[in-house]
């Protein structure tokens, strides 16, 4: 029986060819008997299209015991219905949960109707999962009137409870956009609750980390509620990593192995397509454009994997720090890239193709400039876009030269709400606003920069609002006429029953760039 350590029946096992490409033929357990619920990590739906989505689960009857399941594939059945009671089944199938991918299940579903609600669940042996809710998107470029999305980022498990997701589910978004730091590789503060891994380096350690995060009931409920669209930031691998280098001194080849392990653990725990799995060169392709009818085109950018190393490193710190750009000239090198050649070429073509009512750059940092000095000079945090001004400028030039209207940037990383008007020239208040930006605060990860950052604001007139004193997320209500962003907060993430409030609401009118108090 599966569920107690190394005890399992083999009578139901049979030999079969591997059903997943590139995996060798393997032994398959067709009808396992589980002692513990194998669906403890929940279910999820991701990357919706107009005719499908990816369904995810992972068999983990004992999530913290890597030996809990035998090294064999396990057959898993899935079904999709149009009703919550799962009576009107429209699609069903069988797939294999492979031991090489921690018995995770990814079903790339297509052939469904656009703009519809669906429900799904998994079966294996004697176990049945909870029912999740999925939605297909309207057909690209077909009329779509409105959508509500929630934007999350930065959820250190040990720093608090994920109660923000409870409020998010109550607000009933059509999808949740997660902009990275879904897990943290290391413990950064006095823990409110503990993870079993102090510092993740190996695949086994990253798996344990993801498993403990997925046990949070509010996070599970948010995954079951609606599809997610996800882009990683740095902490899924290591703080402030850039391409082949992390903050702390490590040989680049060793770091790349760590990165590949971390990417695999992400794939194993998220509703992602197979392209998100690292290829033979260790690269995983997460950047993509998604169209919500003709209402919003969402372009997700990977700002970590392909970027140049962080500028002006010290011998012991390869991560970000605030430098004066007049002293650290490496920052302003015109050749420095954030997107890398392939992603940049792809972005230049795809971002301008078939503009929607709203053209959204979903990136994981803050695209607005942020001069972090009070005494002259120009202070940038080298891990941020500020450390790559030439790469940032290329994005602004594209929006300006191709006249991409109604461009919205959504970001995270900085554990603060920042609302900004990104102008062609930030130093000139009469210069055209190219992008309206909303950066969301963290789900739990702390920030203690209120006084420090507030002191920089007089030098940064492009920033219209800043507050880092509360944890929370953003809720965006999008119609053809108005993009409305509501900043939602949780009063205390150190308790399970935090209370929710609206901190502020902002709006951008169609055809009129720039944020207004809403």
- Contact residues for Fe ion (CB under 5 A)? 154, 181, 445
Using the minimum distance from each CB to Ca ion, give the nearer residue, 181 or 268.
Answer: 181
Residue 414 contacts residue 514 (beta carbons within 8 Å): no
In angstroms, the CA 460 to CA 178 distance is 27
Q: Work out how close the CB of 196 gets to Fe ion at its nearest, in angstroms, rounded to a whole number.
A: 20
Using the minimum distance from each CB to Fe ion, give the nearer residue, 181 or 371.
Answer: 181
**Distant-in-sequence, close-in-space partners of 23: CB < 8 Å, separation ≥ 6:** 98, 100
Residue pointed to by tokens 């140049």: 308
Using the minimum distance from each CB to Ca ion, give the nearer residue, 233 or 437.
Answer: 233
Using the minimum distance from each CB to Fe ion, give the nearer residue, 154 or 356.
Answer: 154
Q: Work out how close the CB of 516 gets to Ca ion at its nearest, in angstroms, rounded to a whole number.
A: 29
DSSP β-bridge partners for residue 4 = 2, 7
Short-list 228, 353, 204, 242, CA closest to 291: 353
Using the minimum distance from each CB to Fe ion, give the nearer residue, 16 or 322.
Answer: 322
Q: Work out how close the CB of 239 gets to Fe ion at its nearest, in angstroms, rounded to a whole number.
A: 9
Q: Work out how close the CB of 233 gets to Ca ion at its nearest, in angstroms, rounded to a whole number.
A: 4
Using the minimum distance from each CB to Fe ion, give the nearer residue, 47 or 240.
Answer: 240
> Residue 218: which of Fe ion, Ca ion, none does it interact with, CB under 5 to 8 A by kind?
none
With CB under 5 A as the rule, give the number of residues binding Ca ion.
4
> Residue 156: which of Fe ion, Ca ion, none does it interact with, CB under 5 to 8 A by kind?
none
Using the rule CB under 5 A, is 181 a contact of Ca ion?
Answer: yes
Using the rule CB under 5 A, is 344 a contact of Ca ion?
Answer: no
Using the rule CB under 5 A, is 468 a contact of Ca ion?
Answer: no
Q: Work out how close the CB of 181 gets to Ca ion at its nearest, in angstroms, rounded to a whole number.
A: 5
> Residue 368: which of Fe ion, Ca ion, none does it interact with, CB under 5 to 8 A by kind?
none
Using the rule CB under 5 A, is 159 a contact of Ca ion?
Answer: no
> Residue 444: which of Fe ion, Ca ion, none does it interact with, CB under 5 to 8 A by kind?
none
DSSP class of residue 98 equals B
> How far is C-alpha 362 from the chain's CA centre?
10
Phi/psi for 14 (5° steps) reads -145, 160
Short-list 444, 422, 441, 442, CA closest to 433: 422
DSSP strands (E only) in 103-185? 104-109, 117-124, 127-128, 132-135, 146-152, 175-178
In angstroms, the CA 507 to CA 282 distance is 41
> Residue 26: which of Fe ion, Ca ion, none does it interact with, CB under 5 to 8 A by kind?
none
Query: For Ca ion, which stretch binds (CB under 5 A), given 60-68, 173-181, 303-311, 484-492?
Result: 173-181
Q: Work out how close the CB of 45 gets to Fe ion at its nearest, in angstroms, rounded to a whole number.
A: 24
Q: Give CA separation, 441 vs 164, 280, 346, 387, in Å.
A: 11, 36, 29, 21
Given the DSSP bridges, would you call strands 73-81 and 26-29 parallel, antiparallel or unpaired? parallel
> Residue 240: which of Ca ion, Fe ion, none does it interact with, CB under 5 to 8 A by kind?
none
Q: Work out how close the CB of 385 gets to Ca ion at its nearest, in angstroms, rounded to a whole number.
A: 13
Q: Give CA separation, 385 vs 49, 218, 237, 388, 389, in Å.
A: 30, 32, 19, 5, 6
Residue 267 contacts residue 276 (beta carbons within 8 Å): yes
DSSP characters over 278-303: --TTS-----EEEEETTTEEEEE---
Tell which one of 302, 413, 426, 468 touches Ca ion (CB under 5 A).
413
> Residue 445: which of Fe ion, Ca ion, none does it interact with, CB under 5 to 8 A by kind?
Fe ion
Structure tokens, 321? 């720090």
Q: Give CA separation, 183 vs 217, 265, 444, 488, 517, in Å.
A: 15, 11, 11, 21, 33
Residue pointed to by tokens 């999962």: 129
Helix pair angle (164-171, 217-225), 10° resolution: 20
In angstroms, the CA 72 to CA 223 distance is 27
Q: Work out how close the CB of 124 gets to Fe ion at its nearest, in angstroms, rounded to a whole number.
A: 35
> Residue 104: which of Fe ion, Ca ion, none does it interact with, CB under 5 to 8 A by kind?
none
Using the minimum distance from each CB to Ca ion, give the nearer residue, 168 or 183.
Answer: 183
Structure tokens, 265? 């653990």
Q: Work out how close the CB of 239 gets to Ca ion at its nearest, in angstroms, rounded to a whole number.
A: 8
Q: Work out how close the CB of 153 gets to Fe ion at its nearest, in angstroms, rounded to a whole number.
A: 7
Using the rule CB under 5 A, is 185 a contact of Ca ion?
Answer: no
Phi/psi for 278 (5° steps) reads -60, 135
Using the rule CB under 5 A, is 383 a contact of Ca ion?
Answer: no
Using the minimum distance from each CB to Fe ion, give the nearer residue, 234 or 437.
Answer: 234
Build a one-symbol-per-residue string for 210-239: x at contacts with Ca ion by CB under 5 A, - elsewhere.
Answer: -----------------------xx-----
Using the minimum distance from each CB to Fe ion, give the nearer residue, 78 or 241.
Answer: 241
Q: Work out how close the CB of 187 gets to Fe ion at its nearest, in angstroms, rounded to a whole number.
A: 13
Q: Give CA separation, 300 vs 1, 171, 230, 290, 357, in Å.
A: 43, 23, 8, 8, 17
Using the rule CB under 5 A, is 158 a contact of Ca ion?
Answer: no
> Residue 234: which of Ca ion, Fe ion, none does it interact with, CB under 5 to 8 A by kind?
Ca ion
Using the minimum distance from each CB to Ca ion, give the nearer residue, 2 or 237.
Answer: 237
Q: Work out how close the CB of 411 gets to Ca ion at its nearest, in angstroms, rounded to a whole number.
A: 10
Residues within the interface to Ca ion (CB under 5 A): 181, 233-234, 413
């Amino acid at each position: 029986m599966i569920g107690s350590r190394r005890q399992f029946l083999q009578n139901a096992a049979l030999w079969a060819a591997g059903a997943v490409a590139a995996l060798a033929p393997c032994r398959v357990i067709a009808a396992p008997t589980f002692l513990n619920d194998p669906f403890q990590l929940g279910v999820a739906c991701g990357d919706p299209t107009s005719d499908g989505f990816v369904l995810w689960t992972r068999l983990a009857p004992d999530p913290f015991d890597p030996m809990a399941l035998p090294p064999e594939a396990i057959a898993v059945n899935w079904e999709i219905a149009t009703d919550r009671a799962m009576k009107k089944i429209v699609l069903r199938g069988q797939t294999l949960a492979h031991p090489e991918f921690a018995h995770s299940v990814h079903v790339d579903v297509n052939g469904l109707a656009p703009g519809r609600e669906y429900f799904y669940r998994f079966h294996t042996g004697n176990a049945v999962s909870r029912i999740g809710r999925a939605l297909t998107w309207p057909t690209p470029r077909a009329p779509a009137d409105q959508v509500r999305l929630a934007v999350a980022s930065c959820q250190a498990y040990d720093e608090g409870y994920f109660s923000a997701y409870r409020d998010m589910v109550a607000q009933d978004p059509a999808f949740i956009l997660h902009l990275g730091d879904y897990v943290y590789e290391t413990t950064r503060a006095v823990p409110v609750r503990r993870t079993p891994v102090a510092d993740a380096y190996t695949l086994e350690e990253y798996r344990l980390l993801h498993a403990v995060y997925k046990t949070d009931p509010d996070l599970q409920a948010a995954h079951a509620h609606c599809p997610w669209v996800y882009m990683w930031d740095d902490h899924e691998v290591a703080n402030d990593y850039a391409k082949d280098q992390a903050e702390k001194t490590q040989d680049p080849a060793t770091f790349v192995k760590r990165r590949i392990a971390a990417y695999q653990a992400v794939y194993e725990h998220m509703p992602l397509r197979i392209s998100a799995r690292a290829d033979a060169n260790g690269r995983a392709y997460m950047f993509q454009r998604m169209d919500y009818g003709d209402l919003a085109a969402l372009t997700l950018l990977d700002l970590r994997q392909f970027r140049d190393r962080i500028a002006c490193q010290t011998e012991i710190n390869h991560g970000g720090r605030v430098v004066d750009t007049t002293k650290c000239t490496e920052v302003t090198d015109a050749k420095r890239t954030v997107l890398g050649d392939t992603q940049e070429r792809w972005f230049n073509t795809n971002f301008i193709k078939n503009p929607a009512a709203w053209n959204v750059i979903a990136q994981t940092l803050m695209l607005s400039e942020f001069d972090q000095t009070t005494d002259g000079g120009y202070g940038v945090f080298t891990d941020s876009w500020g450390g790559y001004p030439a790469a940032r400028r290329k994005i602004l030039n594209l929006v300006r030269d191709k006249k991409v209207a109604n461009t919205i940037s959504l970001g995270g990383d900085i554990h603060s709400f920042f609302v900004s008007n990104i102008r062609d020239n930030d130093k000139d208040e009469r210069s055209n606003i190219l992008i309206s930006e909303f950066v969301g605060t963290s789900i739990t990860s702390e920030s203690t920069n209120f006084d420090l950052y507030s002191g920089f604001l007089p030098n940064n007139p492009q920033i219209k609002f800043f507050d880092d004193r509360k944890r929370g997320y953003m809720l965006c209500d999008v119609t053809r006429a108005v993009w409305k962003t509501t900043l939602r907060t949780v009063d205390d993430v150190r308790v399970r029953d935090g209370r929710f409030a609206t901190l502020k609401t902002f709006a951008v009118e169609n055809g009129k760039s720039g944020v207004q108090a809403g």
